[in-house]
Structure 1
Amino acid sequence: MKTSLTSPRALVLSLAAAGVIGAVATGAYTSANAVASPAPAASAPAAAPQVSMPDFSTITARHAPAVVNISVTGTTKTAAAEGPQGMQGMDPSDPMYEFFRRFQGQGQGQGGQRGQQQREAPVRGQGSGFIVSADGIILTNAHVVKDAKEVTVKLTDRREFRAKVLGSDAKTDVAVLKIDAKNLPTLSVGNTKDLKVGEWVLAIGSPFGFENTVTAGVVSAKGRSLPDDGYVPFIQTDVAVNPGNSGGPLINTRGEVVGINSQIYSRSGGYQGVSFAIPIDVAIQVKDQIVATGKASHARLGVAVQEVNQAFADSFKLDRPEGALVSNVEKGGPADEAGLRSGDVIRKVDGEPIVASGDLPALIGQKKPGSKITLEIWRQGQREELSAKLGDSAEKSATVAKNDSGAGQGKLGLALRPLQPQEQREAAVDGGLLIQEVGGPAAMAGVQPGDVLLAINGTPAKSIEQVREVVAKADKSVALLIQRDGDKIFVPVRLG
């Protein structure tokens, strides 16, 4: 379960916002097991190399004053029963609120319908943030201040300020606040590209309201793509994060902020060793747009893509299973105008490699609408380059097609027939073959009767004989482009 951490009153229900927690131990380690190489008798023995851990206490003392606690007050509409047994004035986060709500619901079912009215109930939350400008510009998560009517920022010197939300961007989960203050401590901005997997990082925030809490860990991975978060190449760490630390900084050993702690993956709603931070370069880009215009914009290519696994790599004669496989191209969109087609594999964007399909929306989303890009694609066994002018994601969002089909062995296992003219009109396709029966590897791969086969290994499916020829020439697997309920996806079928 992916959890964004902002806190309700019951600690186990961390359903609203996300952040970072922890206590740090500092110390030094000296290697005692190094073995010196033999040296001449007259030479002094070589000294054993010393290895020390970062001084987390110095980093904390120097940079913690730029980290703030954020308190949010908002409202939500809820049904309340009239009369002496109503729940007016009860906080929805109170553990007894749900009990009384259910009790009254049962009473209504047994004793007749009581009067119901909509009322606004107060909602409170907490998060973290950090100061990036001495005149009071603060970065935090968008979900921390979502639907907020009042935002209060508390500094480490215990001063409190009413904050104005300059803007927020749900696509990247970044929000920008402003407080009326001067000469504030700030965090220096680092470079995410210089961040290395295995490097020590530090997090400061307010888990469960415990202000100025510090945790440390290492960078576990970079460029992670998470479900429903296609615009952010997340930094994965093992730094402890818990509700209330959303929006807090991820800091390297040089005291530079490299990310905004945002989410965790958890079965319990609490920290389980997998935390995710928004790269600071993404956050700063969003911040600059919001400060200048009050909103953030993201570019759009207009394609649906899916992962290139080994079966697809074999089908399309790729040297390795990397890239973003284009399963659908939006008609009239930027990709369509650039000449992209279903079956193309996007390998690079402006020279930046696309390893996983999630790399594409994250990279495109960081560019400005209207900008021009160069795409390196793989089409029909050959490398090609295309130029595209990006659109605006506010107009229409690109999607990532999901396919979790398995693969089988043996013959293809499809019974096909040409589509009738009326069926072609209903399916809104120019050609294709109707899949009547499915067995063997195709069934194991998830192909279903009623699907329309549009192409095989990038070649349009015009006739049954043509499909047989492609299968006969295929080595290990074939990639079927099918249409199902109006959606197009590629399905890899292992032939054996």
Structure 2
Amino acid sequence: MKSLNVKTSGSGVSFFLALACAFSLQMPLMASAQQGMVKGLPDFTELVEQVGPSVVNIRTLEKVRAQPQNGGGMDDETQDLLRRFFGIPIPNVPNTPNAPRQAPRQGRTPVPEESQPRGVGSGFVLTSDGFIMTNAHVVDGADEVLVTLTDKREFKAKLIGADKRTDVAVVKIQATGLPAVKVGDVSRLKVGEWVMAIGSPFGLDNSVTAGIVSAKQRDTGDYLPFIQTDVAINPGNSGGPLINMRGEVIGINSQIYSRSGGFMGISFAIPMDEAMRVSEQLRSNGRVTRGRIGVQIEPVTKELAESIGLGKAQGALINRIEPGAPADKAGLEAGDVILKIDGKQIEKSADLPRLVGNTKPGTKSTLTVFRRGATKEMSIVIAELEPEKVAKRSSEIEEKPKASASAQGLGLVVTELTDAQKTELKIKGGVRVESVQDQAAKAGLREGDVILAVGNHEVTQMKEFEAAVAKIDKNLAVSVLFRRGELTRFALIRPIR
């Protein structure tokens, strides 16, 4: 260092020497801190070199019938009307005014089909022998799928299978020795972890963006707990890989949340463990088979859980059971809360279709069910998921019994069900709501509903209903299980004191 020529006293010199020594000692520490900060920043260059060659561009084409050159595609009748009423000459051949009309339609040569661009997406090499994974919506409806590798080789791909429920598709190209990706363990993924995406946003090949994991287990569909990130994802990125800092693919970029059509800081990826389960079935069978038990469910709210004695808001509340379905055969009832399947906890209602769907049809499973204050184990045989049936509406009830009881504190007037009504509704008992007012109306009950339970006490007839009403605590909201059409649900009524 260059010394400073400063005239000062001896004590002043000592002070400056001490200051200089302290500064010189701090310089390495400051440099070390700066190096530590630099080292702490992520470097994606090696990841791009490692995974980049495995990412492909996918273009889809659709065949359209070429427009005949007869006056901009107008048919003969339209042209004839224009000539006769407006005196407008319509050319049959471009740049040839007033050409004679074409031959009658039945004598024309068929118009050839042309392949036109339909969309652009991304994908990645799953196996070295040419299996490629992408989104189902990227290849949906395409007549041709073209895959371009990073070395600019282009292949016509064969669609092996696509699953719209999970938005996963697998295509195959005739190539070997391809650089396949490494599949990561999604269970190790942490919120706040750095991740990277490679794809073709707006058709720009091999574009790299990065960000962090914003959330896990984000429910936006029946069968998928999505990974939410702030990685910039735009049209064309769909089907591309989401990569962790170990160079492993942990998701397929699938959706964005946007009010403008472009990226707004929220994107979603399909977890790779779910995608691999789907891809294995697609490669083996060309389709995905899923389990079903034949129930319609809804979430368990905190207030409802406390009211029925469940304590914690968890599980899936059954509000309808399909007649003849596995749930019906197993003895499940509307109003049951399914807490576990084969020992796996159902924290929220969306967990049930996911766990049942991932169970092989024909499997004998065990359900843990909460019913009227008690927990019980029930066996059920999982069936294969079928196309959803449209629920039929119950016909009008012809025979109307006389009102014989009321629960004024609940704002209800109810009557016995006739045998014909029980048969039609396929229930063993209950009482029919004849009129509602005050608290019952506020809770959402209405005329024609059938009450099946009051405060965890099953109701099959008027005598049981009145006994259950007599036991309720007027200071607390009471849960009422009722049937409306084919749906069964709970209402919370606050009694009038």
The TM-score, its normalising length taken from structure 2, stands at 0.74
Structure 2 counterpart of 1:414? 412
Give yes or no for the alignment of 1:477 onto 2:477.
yes
Q: What is the CA–CA distance in structure 2 between the aligned matches of 1:82 and 1:427, rounded to whole Å?
A: 62
Structure 1 counterpart of 2:211? 217
Q: What is the CA–CA distance in structure 2 between the aligned matches of 1:332 and 1:449, rounded to whole Å?
A: 28
Deviates more, 1:463-472 or 1:229-238: 463-472
Structure 2 counterpart of 1:332? 324
Structure 1 residues 146 and 317, CA gap change in structure 2 (3 angstroms): same
Instruction: Judge conservation of contact 2:319–2:489 (CA < 8 Å) in 1.
Output: yes
Give yes or no for the alignment of 1:199 onto 2:193.
yes
Instruction: Judge conservation of contact 2:159–2:170 (CA < 8 Å) in 1.
Output: yes
Instruction: Judge conservation of contact 2:334–2:489 (CA < 8 Å) in 1.
Output: no
Structure 2 runs not aligned, ≥5 long: 1-28, 87-104, 106-110, 392-407
Instruction: Judge conservation of contact 2:59–2:119 (CA < 8 Å) in 1.
Output: yes
Structure 2 counterpart of 1:437? 435
- What CA RMSD, in Å, does the superposition of the two structures yield over aligned residues? 3.5
* CA-to-aligned-CA distance 1:312-360 (integer Å, 9 cap, x gap): 2012211210111122222332223333222221112222211110011
Q: What is the CA–CA distance in structure 2 between the aligned matches of 1:448 and 1:123, rounded to whole Å?
A: 55
Structure 1 counterpart of 2:491? 492
**Among 34, 38, 45, which residue is 1:57 paired with?**
45
Instruction: Judge conservation of contact 1:482–1:490 (CA < 8 Å) in 2.
Output: yes
Instruction: Judge conservation of contact 1:304–1:398 (CA < 8 Å) in 2.
Output: no
Structure 2 counterpart of 1:280? 272
Q: How does 1:153-232 map to 2 (within 5 A)?
A: 153-226=147-220, 229-232=221-224
Q: What is the CA–CA distance in structure 2 between the aligned matches of 1:453 and 1:277, rounded to whole Å?
A: 43
Structure 2 counterpart of 1:237? 229
Greater percentage in strand: 1
Structure 1 residues 384 and 462, CA gap change in structure 2 (3 angstroms): closer
Q: What is the CA–CA distance in structure 1 between the aligned matches of 2:70 and 2:452, rounded to whole Å?
A: 63
Deviates more, 1:330-339 or 1:200-209: 330-339
Q: Tell me, what secondary structure is at the counterpart of 1:288?
A: helix
How far is 1:372 from its partner?
A: 2.8
Q: What is the CA–CA distance in structure 2 between the aligned matches of 1:469 and 1:267, rounded to whole Å?
A: 55
Q: What is the CA–CA distance in structure 2 between the aligned matches of 1:194 and 1:358, rounded to whole Å?
A: 22
* CA-to-aligned-CA distance 1:205-252 (integer Å, 9 cap, x gap): 1122122222222222222332xx312222222223222221111111
Which amino acid in the other structure matches residue 367 of structure 1? T
**Among 234, 238, 250, which residue is 2:242 paired with?**
250
Q: Identity over aligned residues, as a percent?
A: 46
Which amino acid in the other structure matches residue 451 of structure 1? D
Q: What is the CA–CA distance in structure 1 between the aligned matches of 2:444 and 2:225, rounded to whole Å?
A: 30
Structure 1 residues 331 and 206, CA gap change in structure 2 (3 angstroms): same
Instruction: Judge conservation of contact 1:445–1:491 (CA < 8 Å) in 2.
Output: no
Larger radius of gyration: 2
Give yes or no for the alignment of 1:349 onto 2:331.
no
Q: Tell me, what secondary structure is at the counterpart of 2:224?
A: strand
Q: What is the CA–CA distance in structure 2 between the aligned matches of 1:161 and 1:489, rounded to whole Å?
A: 53
How far is 1:257 from its partner?
A: 0.8
Greater percentage in helix: 2
Paired residues, number: 414
Give yes or no for the alignment of 1:368 onto 2:367.
no
Structure 2 counterpart of 1:6? none
Q: What is the CA–CA distance in structure 2 between the aligned matches of 1:238 and 1:466, rounded to whole Å?
A: 56
Structure with higher RCO (Cα < 8 A, 6+ apart): 1
The TM-score, its normalising length taken from structure 1, stands at 0.74
Structure 1 residues 246 and 397, CA gap change in structure 2 (3 angstroms): farther
Q: What is the CA–CA distance in structure 2 between the aligned matches of 1:73 and 1:87, rounded to whole Å?
A: 26
Instruction: Judge conservation of contact 1:199–1:218 (CA < 8 Å) in 2.
Output: yes
Structure 2 counterpart of 1:84? 71
Structure 1 runs not aligned, ≥5 long: 1-44, 89-103, 400-409
* CA-to-aligned-CA distance 1:154-209 (integer Å, 9 cap, x gap): 11222111111111112221111111111111210011122122222222211221
Give yes or no for the alignment of 1:143 onto 2:137.
yes
Structure 1 residues 343 and 124, CA gap change in structure 2 (3 angstroms): same
Structure 1 residues 383 and 460, CA gap change in structure 2 (3 angstroms): closer
Instruction: Judge conservation of contact 1:127–1:144 (CA < 8 Å) in 2.
Output: yes
Structure 2 counterpart of 1:10? none
Q: What is the CA–CA distance in structure 1 between the aligned matches of 2:195 and 2:74, rounded to whole Å?
A: 46
